[in-house]
Amino acid sequence: MSLLSPKPPLPRRRLACLGVDWQAERSLRATLALLGGRTREPWDFGDGLAAADVVIYEPGNQLAQALERREPPSAPRKLFLPCDGETAEAQRRLRHPIGASRLIRCLDHASEVLPAPRGEPARDSLCQRLDEALRSPGVRGVALLTGERRGLLLPAEAALRWPLPLGGDEIARLLAPDVEIQILRADDYGALRKLQAITPQQHPWETALWAVGVATSGGRLLRRLGEGRAYGLRRRPDFGSVGSRKSDLRCSALLLQAAMTPVQLASAAGIPPEVANNFLNAAALCGLLDGVPAELAAAMPRAGELF
């Protein structure tokens, strides 16, 4: 009698959102959780673009459109699905509210046209790698290599040097999973001068870093941000090409009034913890957070309690 070996589990695909209102995202998460066994392949919801197979976005989101343009039409690595119901192909047509049958059709279509999912080694997010590079002792600049583009982050000037105007298509290049980072210190003067020569345009870095923080964090809090610390916002961020989502506006308003821990922020804003973490990471990467011990923050009067 021969024994049949159990079939290996199917690799799981990942679904992410970009620029989608948090209420719609919460509904999407709940719908996806109900689809177990009803799609051709198993799917999980993720909060990072790098590992996503399907990205659902709001129509008009410039960053999502730029990322979609970077996908080869004949052999895409991931699908971008706008939530507008106007896409010509029925298999890629989504609209609010996103029902189970429509979502199943779109995910099964993705399984047909995308390459097989690969188990990739765990790696720090681009947000985490950039955060550590910019805070490295003695750093004078951080070189960015993505495809044929070269860029230079200058911490002393809070600036990004880039060869072209920093529109949505150029920021999309910065979110590629294969971005290479190189820390430049005082003894790398020659490399700094060379990069400055080939990156004639200097931009405030906030728009680019905000996109990196929101889009590549994967819902995981930066290692230097503690769950037991409370954070306040120095000013409202420049949301740039990501757009000002309701969740970002709500988090900004809350943290401009009082410092909160990540858990408190998620609860007060009524958003998933992963969304709150992405916001905090983006704000930290842009240098907009002030942290205090949670017990001190709890003793501080809130803005509405001052009078």
Instruction: State how far the Cα of 243 lies from the Cα of 239, in Å rounded to an integer.
Output: 5
Residue pLDDT, tens place only, 161-209: 999 999 889 999 998 878 999 999 999 999 999 999 999 999 999 999 9
Give the phi and the psi of residue 281 in degrees, each rounded to 5: -60, -45
Provide mean pLDDT across the span 226-242.
87
Across 25-34, 56-65, 118-127, 282-291, the highest mean pLDDT is recorded for 282-291
Residue pLDDT, tens place only, 38-94: 999 999 987 677 778 999 988 888 888 898 998 888 888 889 988 865 655 666 777
Provide mean pLDDT across the span 275-299.
85
Q: 305 pLDDT band (50/70/90 cuts)?
A: very low
Instruction: State how far the Cα of 227 lies from the Cα of 233, in Å rounded to an integer.
Output: 16
One DSSP character per residue, 167-221 reads -HHHHHHHT-TT-EEEEE-GGGHHHHHHHHHH--EEEESHHHHHHHHHHHSTTPP
Domain residue limits at 30: 13-113
Q: What is the CA radius of gyration of the chain?
A: 21
Q: 231 pLDDT band (50/70/90 cuts)?
A: very high
Give the phi and the psi of residue 88 in degrees, each rounded to 5: -65, -40
Cβ–Cβ contacts within 10 Å for residue 267, how many?
13
Is 121 domain-assigned?
Answer: no
Is 240 domain-assigned?
Answer: yes
Residues 78, 146 share a domain: no
The number of residues in the chain equals 307
Instruction: State how far the Cα of 119 lies from the Cα of 126, in Å rounded to an integer.
Output: 18
Query: Is residue 2's pLDDT more than 50?
Result: no
Residues 264, 186 share a domain: no
Of 182, 205, 228, the last residue of a domain is 205
Is 307 domain-assigned?
Answer: no
Q: For the chain, what is the domain count? A: 3
Of 78, 113, 148, the last residue of a domain is 113
Is 4 domain-assigned?
Answer: no
Query: Is residue 279's pLDDT more than 50?
Result: yes
Which of 9-23, 130-144, 163-177, 196-210 has the weakest average pLDDT? 9-23
Specify whether the backbone of 123 is left (phi greater than 0), alpha (psi in -120 to 50) or beta: beta
Q: In 3-state terms, what secondary structure has residue 274?
A: helix
Instruction: State how far the Cα of 85 lies from the Cα of 72, in Å rounded to an integer.
Output: 23
Give me the CATH number covering residue 58. Answer: 3.40.50
Provide mean pLDDT across the span 4-16.
69
